[in-house]
Each structure stands twice: as C-alpha cells, then as structure tokens.
Structure 1
Amino acid sequence: PENINIPAGSRFFIEDVYFQYSKDGTLECETPGKAGNVQLTDQPLLSLDTIPGLESIKMKKLVIPGQEEEDDASLYDRYLIRARREAVSANRAHYKKWAEEVAGVGRAKVFPLWNGEGTVKIVITDGNLDVASDLLVKRVQEYIDPVPGEGEGQAPIGSKATVESAKWLDIDIEVAVELQMDWTLEGAQKEIEEKVKTLLKSIAFEKSTIRMSALNDILYHSESVSDYADVLLNGESKNLVLQDIEIPRLRQVKVIEQTG
C-alpha cells in the first residue's frame, strides 16, 4: 500500500541478515562487510517492528555494496599518502581521499579544471569496481561539495566539485582454438570468460589499456586450449585504449574451433 510511514530505524530481517530503514528510503545492513551483498532482490522481508498498514514488504535491488573493513596496512598506507601530500589548498590527492572514504566507494579519479577555473570532477566506482548508483554519487557529492563553491563540505570555498559515476565499456573477445582432449567449446568458453573477467577487474580505474599480450597470456595458460589463433578484441587485433571514465565489462567471449 502507498502512503505508509516507515520510521527511520525500523528493523527488518531476511536470511539471517538484519537491516535498518534509513530516512532516505534505503535499507542498511547491520552486519559490517559484505554480508548484505547476497542476491536478495524481490525476496520478502520480515518486519521486526509493528508498522501500521504494512502488510508485506520486499527487498529491492542492491544500490551500494558493502565492503570489508580496511586492514591496518592499507589504512596506514592511506594515512602516509595523506600526511605527505597535505597542502594549504585542496589538491588532487585530497579529492581522491575524500571520495574514497565515503562508505561504498571503491576507487575514484579526479579531473581538475575540467570545466574552467576552480572546477573539479570526481568519477567513482562502487566497492565492487562497478558503475556507482545514483544514491552513492549523491552521498559523495554531499560529503565533498553539497553547495558548489560554498565550502559546505570537504572542498574549500571557491572550488566547485562535480561527482559522477564511471561508465561501462562492453568488451567482446573472439578466438579460434584447438581444444585439449576431453574439452568442449562450451567448457573452453567458460574457462576463458572467468580469466578475462579477473583481468578486467584488475584494470578497472587502474590502467588505461587492455593489451593483446594479456589476452594471449590467458589463452596460452588455459587448460582447455592446445593452440589458438585470430584473437580479436572488440573486433580488432590490437590493444584497446579506455577513456578515463570507462570500466571494462565483458559482454561475451566467442570461441570457435580451428579448422584445417
């Protein structure tokens, strides 16, 4: 039913995980880390509070993945970066630090002077190195610069910060293979796909190029592949350069059997 008032702090339960309702209309997992990231979309929730008029409620999609707590070594490294690069006015490192300390953010890139003097663009991924939700973008914007140029957030007065999500770039790979004994094309495709996905995650917001040499290395070391030829990356046999705001996402691996 519409127009039901769900008080902030109301608690719900599903599959041994507890959630609290926030005033922005989202549910926040009470267990730190990745416990709340399991696939719960459209699953019924059990309310632990009496809420007038509420008959049933379902979980919507995950908008901000939870992250495991930062280990001491990582936290210390981040502290050293901050200590070494502190300055009177905010620099690129400050904006990156501010973005990445918002819960749910994975990595951030900073583009100074992107739209004239005093402007800064911050592009973020979520904790899974995927495209960030609108809600996460909003939270980072509010933390860094909720009223552009007014110094109401972390950004200094006069600096106008704009926060955006990274964008997907779909990746297609095609290869002709000679299969090892007892392997099928479907098995080879699955093996190659998993290895390519791992490669693309390592590249996301860290490197700007998907290299053919990396794909050749995957194929050379694949258990399913005896020999291979004609490797294509998005239709071409050359390295693929990513734009600064792009995250590579595997769309398909097309494996055909070598003939002749």
Structure 2
Amino acid sequence: SAVWSVEVSPEGIRIPTGSRFYIDNLYFQYQSDGTLKCETSGSIGNGNFAELPLLSLDNIPGLESVIFEELKIPGQEEEDDEALYERYLMRARREAVSANKAHYKKWAEEVEGVGRAKVFPLWNGEGTVKVVITDGNFDVATDLLVNKVQEYIDPVPGEGEGQAPIGATATVESAKWKDVEVSVSVELKMDYSLEDAQQEIEEKIKDLLKSLAFEENVIRMSAINDILYHADSVSDYADVLINGEAKNLPLQDIEIPRLGQVNVIEQA
C-alpha cells in the first residue's frame, strides 16, 4: 500500500492512530509515525495527490487540515507469476541460507515497498554488510523506507535483534541516481510529427532504464539503437549519443539510471 507524509494543521495536534481520511474514492489511515497509509493496496494510492487536502472521517477536536506532502513508499501491484516463481526457486534451491548474500537480498526485498536490493559483503571490514535498495517503482528509496529495512534486518548493530545474525553489522542505504541524456537525429515516417517521435522514444527509454535498475551495470548503445529501430514513428536515425558520447554508459554499483533530457532532431 502507498504511504504518504502529510502536513497537519495546526502543528502539534494529536491525531489518533488509525484515524481515517478520504480523497478520490480512496481511504487512508493515520499511522503511529505520522504518515498516511492507503487502505487499498497497489499503485492506485500513488496518485498525483501532493498538496491536496483530505477529508477527515473522524471527529478530531481542533484539526483544521491534513494535506498530502510526499509519496514516501509507492504502492505496488501484486507480483506476477514470474516473480513468484523466482522467489520459489530461490527457496527451493536453498540459495538464501545462513545469512549469505542471497539471504540479505531476500530479507530486504521482503519489506513492503522495496523493489530490488543489492548486497555488498565486507564493505567496511569484517562482519559488515551493506544493503542498497530501490523502492517499488525502482526509484531512489526514501529515508522512511530505508529505515524500515534497517529495522527489519539489523536495528541494533551486531546484536542480532533483527534478521541479521549476532556479530553482523548491516547498513541499509538507498540507491543513487545516475542522470542519463540521449540525443539522436531521426527521419520521420509519414503522418508522424517530431513531437510524436519525442514522446515515443522517451517512453521506451524510460521503460528500458527501469528494467536495468540493479540488473545491469551498463546502458548499452545497442539497446538504444534497438528502441530507435523498432520505433513506429522513426524511418531512419543517426548520431546517437548517451550523455554526449557514442558509447556505452557504465553505472556504478549503487547507481540506478534516470532519464533526463531526450533531444530528438529531425534530419534535414
């Protein structure tokens, strides 16, 4: 379920945990940490609600307004059969056992709101593990989500109070953005405009970059070329550049790609 931070007025007013609020046919419950959690699971709770007010369904003396601030944990749809099968295979093959790398990855991805996790053993000496996560949209995770994973895996370093064994110190962090710019000159197919090509290419590159998050450490020219080759609006293309260069763009281990500007120029 989606979790939002909110601005409450007047500041400091006490809102009982479990109080219910309403907007656009959706109900949200107030959590003990001061956030609102959507009662309907899935991406429907990720709507464009920022800065919109909610209607309180409970009588809360003195409450003037509750306004959405920021989507802290994006809601996710139920996993598909392929994802479920991959989790089954990991368990059946006993890949995630005895606090190995796969086990830390499994623990992190068990936390509601986490998309993917990457594990770095011995990152800061004997007994240390770093776990880097994305949110369910394969975007950079918020502090709220990072803290949830930290609490689940290792709330008190080395004490074995979470999933991590005694003596192991786990540090959970968010992935970092790597901004990506793409430029290309195109020859348009009949009945297509430059705006059509721009929109189509942007959408397909965004989908590509999402699929690469923590799965690949490089953005390949061949993948961009494949998008352009199969684009409905493009007859021919040339001069493809990724971040100003005609070569693959490597990603650091903790980086996930984010599409910035796409420059599509019509060939003369």
- TM-score norm. by structure 1 comes to 0.95
- Structure 1 CA distance for aligned equivalents of residues 226 and 80 of structure 2: 32
Name segments (4+ residues, structure 1) moved above 4 Å: none
Task: Note if contact 1:82-1:93 (Cα within 8 Å) is conserved in structure 2.
Answer: no
Aligned equivalent of 1:10: 19
1:158 maps to which of 167, 191, 210: 167
Deviation string, structure 1 residues 53-110 (Cα, Å, up to 9, x no partner) = 1022212211101112335664353133134236773100110000000000000000
Question: Which structure has the highest strand share of the two?
Answer: 2
Distance in 1 between residues matched to 2:63 and 2:109, nearest whole Å: 37
Asked if the contact 1:82–1:94 (Cα under 8 Å) also holds between the matched residues in 2, the reply is: no
Q: Is the 8 A contact 1:212 1:237 kept in 2?
A: yes
2:67 partner SS: coil
Per-residue CA distance 1:25-63 (angstroms, 9 max, x = gap): 100111122221111111110111111110222122111
Alignment check: 8 A CA contact 2:41 2:75 kept = yes
Q: CA deviation at 1:183?
A: 2.3
Q: Give the alignment of 1:112-131 within 5 angstroms.
A: 112-131=121-140
**Aligned-partner Cα distance in 2 for 1:217–1:192:** 11
Distance in 2 (CA, whole Å) between partners of 1:70 and 1:213 is: 29
Q: Which residue among 147, 157, 168 is the counterpart of 1:148? A: 157
Aligned length: 259
User: Within 1, Cα distance between the matches of 2:176 and 2:40?
Assistant: 29
Which of 41, 54, 61 in structure 2 is aligned with 1:32? 41
Does the alignment pair 1:81 with 2:81? no
Contact (CA 8 Å) 2:97, 2:103: kept in 1 or not? no
Once residues 211 and 66 of structure 2 are traced to their aligned partners in structure 1, the CA distance between those partners, rounded to angstroms, is 38
From 237, 249, 254, the equivalent of 2:258 is 249
User: In the TM superposition, what are the counterparts of 1:58-207 in structure 2 within 5 Å?
Assistant: 58-71=67-80, 74-85=83-94, 89-207=98-216
Q: Deviation digits for residues 195-244 of structure 1, max 9, x if unmatched?
A: 11111111111111111111111111112212111110011000111111
Contact 2:22 2:55 in 1 (8 A): yes
CA distance in structure 2 between the aligned counterparts of 1:209 and 1:200, rounded to whole angstroms: 10
Tell me the secondary structure at the aligned position of residue 172 of structure 1.
Answer: strand
Instruction: Report the Cα distance in structure 1 between the residues aligned to 2:266 and 2:81, rounded to whole angstroms.
Output: 49
Equivalents in 2 of 1:223, 1:138: separation in Å?
A: 44
1:181 CA displacement = 2.1
Greater CA drift, 195-204 or 182-191 = 182-191
The aligned residue for residue 43 of structure 1 is 52
Distance 1:46 1:88, change over 3 A: closer
Partners of 2:220 and 2:85 lie apart in 1 by: 33
Which residue of structure 1 aligns with residue 7 of structure 2?
A: none
CA RMSD of aligned residues (A): 1.5
Structure 2 vs 1, CA of residues 130 and 88 (structure 1 numbering), >3 Å: closer, same or farther?
A: closer
Superposed, which structure 2 residues align to 1:206-245 within 5 Å?
A: 206-245=215-254
Contact kept? 2:74, 2:135, Cα under 8 Å: yes
Q: Is the deviation greater in 143-152 or in 178-187?
A: 178-187
